[in-house]
Amino acid sequence: MEKIKVIVGLGSCGIAAGAGKVYDKINQLVGTGKYDLQLQKTSCIGMCYREPLVEIIDNNKSYIYGEINENKAEEIIINHSQKHEPIQDYVVHSKEFATEDDVFWEGQVKIALRHCGYIDPEKIEDYEANDGYKSLKKIANENISYQAIIEEVTNSGLRGRGGGGFPTGLKWKFARGSQSEEKYIICNADEGDPGAFMDKSLLEGDPHAIIEGMIIGAYAIGASHGVVYCRAEYPLAIVRLNIALEQARKKGYLGENILGIEGFNLDIYVKEGAGAFVCGEETALIASIEGERGMPRKRPPYPAASGLWRKPTNINNVETFANIPWIIDNGAEEYAKYGTEKSNGTKAFALTGKINRGGLIEVPMGITIHDIVFKLGGGIQDNKKFKAVQLGGPSGGCIPAHLDHTIVDYDSVNATGAIMGSGGIVVMDESTCMVDMARFFLDFTQKESCGKCTFCRVGTKRMLEILTRITEGEGKEGDIEKLEELSYHIKDGSLCGLGQTAPNPVLTTIKYFRSEYEAHIKDKKCPAGNCTKLLTYEVVAEKCTGCTVCAKNCPSDAIDGERKGVHFIRTEDCIQCGACVTKCNFDAIITY
């Protein structure tokens, strides 16, 4: 009988949930010599809502256990070692029997994420055993030309997964057409929106897939230098990338005359960025790599003609490169079977917010928002009403519940006023104030503005001031129109994608939730009951125990009452801070 294989999910999400302690406990059990186990690390398995996750492979049967602590881990190990049977109450997914979490996996198609949660990202042998570097070897062994590779990528219909959705094959064709003895290929791993979790998980979980995709891309465009631009806030991703790069060099996948391809020389290094959101824009990213402040440049010239160090440069994001080896191995036609007419393939998303099953998913283009929220995501927490999704990160837009039939592809999402972005879906329920949500995202983009363009630098600040006034009950007639006017000026007058898309959350919330803006401005009320400055606070006498906690925590001393007696809030002195609601342990304070 083969050893029982124990795989612990040690992505950032798992480590944060306590997976490191679980791994150490299992490692301790292995050290006793009582258990015949093969312990392995992997990355994010995808079911982030069930972390920490441990997979047991016993008698060639796989069982994924969720919400595992040290005690449960020991119980599971002992049970499998003695009985070779699962503890079904702890299993969240298995092909051997049904679980309530099975629906999370239904409809998913793993291409970019095909190895994440399955292989040890720090072992190149694991990657190779799962068809890793097979595509690169195929190119070398079959002497496939760069023209054939570009044609295959073009025919696959792969579009850039970083947000813009530009056809990858066409981008490579432009870079190849630029005449220069020196070219660069860059992986943009610096996206700063919720979809960045997806990119980070890919880097942590399958760094060799990104490296292989970059090597193939470099061969196609004629590049001899590669850079992975990764934000320094991803320390685990950077560690695993550097391990993978060193392994690839030792194996001959990087270096001179790679795999015997005469004249094909390439090395790749990691450049750590400071995490500026604007560096997701190509020219700002290039400036940062060159040691300058990350600020966009006017285009043309485009990077394909004059990029890093003024040499022809191709830039794709993490997910785009992860798709490349699969496409070369399986063919453009197979990839194009997934998705829609103009948006082929699959898309990975970080699903988060007021959702029952948040995590990392990969689905075919063309799936509806409804199916993502209510099937994979399991619906809204606490059975509340679904209100909207925010798609595309801080620069994305809000799509209301009544448009949940919208399919996820570039054209359909853009038609709503949102954008695909790098893959973040934030789900909102009835308790979400859409005005405050717009203010939240604009606050982020305003702070991240590099300041180069007046419209972006000053315009977003003016918009933020107006939104803040509205959420604090000081909105005025005409504020909505001012927001719209500023939005269009900022979109038209900004140099890069940050400024051009920053107003999206505001424009989409005004378009679909204008009545909420009007309620804030005219009635001085927040329909969602979220904006504290617009709420009236009142003690429910039947629930008040007279514990005095609310009075002790009221910064304006606006609460009266004796100990063990019913308390009262003096409305004229209340500053609507919400501290009393937060501190009350008996739900005795209501707002309206």
Predicted pLDDT of residue 14: 94
- Per-residue pLDDT tens for 78-98? 999 999 999 999 999 999 999
CATH of domain 4-103: 3.40.30.10
List, for residues 495-554, the tens digit of each pLDDT value: 998 899 999 999 999 999 999 999 999 999 999 988 988 999 999 999 999 999 999 999
CB atoms within 10 A of CB 586: 12
Q: Give the 3-state DSSP-derived string for 450-504, with helices as H, strands as E and coil as C.
A: CCCCHHHHHHHHHHHHHHHHHHCCCCCCCHHHHHHHHHHHHHHHCCCHHHHHCCH
DSSP reduced 3-state for 276: coil
Q: How is the chain split into domains, by residue range?
A: 4-103, 124-335, 346-429, 434-523, 535-591
Averaged pLDDT for residues 196-212: 90
> Which CATH superfamily does the domain covering 124-335 fall into?
NADH-ubiquinone oxidoreductase 51kDa subunit (3.40.50.11540)
- 3 state SS of 146: helix
Lowest mean pLDDT among 51-60, 159-168, 307-316, 473-482: 159-168
User: Cβ distance 183 to 146 under 8 Å?
Assistant: no
Q: What is the pLDDT of residue 192?
A: 54
Is a pLDDT exceeding 80 seen at residue 494?
Answer: yes
Question: What is the average per-residue pLDDT within 366-370?
Answer: 97
- Mean pLDDT, residues 455-460: 96
Percent of the chain with pLDDT over 70: 99
pLDDT tens-digit profile of 317-362?
999 999 999 999 999 999 999 999 889 999 999 999 999 999 999 9
**Residue 274: phi, psi to the nearest 5?**
-85, 0
pLDDT number for residue 392: 87
Q: What is the pLDDT of residues 239-298, one digit of tens each?
A: 999 999 999 999 999 999 999 999 999 999 999 988 788 888 899 999 999 999 999 999
The CATH label, of 1.20.120.1200, 3.40.1410.10, 1.20.1440.230, 3.40.50.300, for the domain at 434-523 is 1.20.1440.230
Give the Cα separation of 241 and 245 in Å (integer). 6
Q: Is 80 exceeded by the pLDDT of residue 374?
A: yes
pLDDT digits (tens, 9 = 90+) for 85-141: 999 999 999 999 999 999 999 999 999 999 999 999 999 999 999 999 999 999 999
* Average pLDDT for the chain: 94
Q: How confident is the model at residue 200 (pLDDT cuts 50, 70, 90)?
A: confident
**For 381-433, how does the pLDDT look when each residue is reduced to its tens digit (9 = 90+)?**
999 999 999 998 888 999 999 999 999 999 999 999 999 887 889 999 999 99
| CATH 3.30.70.20 for domain 535-591 | yes
* Topology given in CATH for the domain delimited by 346-429: Ubiquitin-like (UB roll) (3.10.20)
Bond before 364 cis per omega within 30 degrees: no
Residue 196: band (very low, low, confident or very high) from pLDDT cuts 50, 70, 90? low
Strands 225-231, 386-391: pairing kind: unpaired
pLDDT at 198 over 80: no
**pLDDT attached to residue 193:** 53
The pTM (predicted TM-score) of the whole model is: 0.93
CB neighbours of 537 closer than 8 A, spacing ≥ 6?
569, 571, 574, 576, 578, 580, 581, 589, 590, 591
Find, among 42, 7, 202, the residue nearest to 110 by Cα: 202
Query: Would you state the pLDDT for residue 191?
Result: 62
For residues 47-61, give the mean pLDDT: 96
* Residues sharing a CB contact under 8 Å with residue 403, sequence separation 6 or more, in sequence order: 369, 416, 512
pLDDT for 1 equals: 62
Residue labelled with tokens 């990691």: 270
Residue 500 — φ and ψ, nearest 5°? Answer: -65, -25
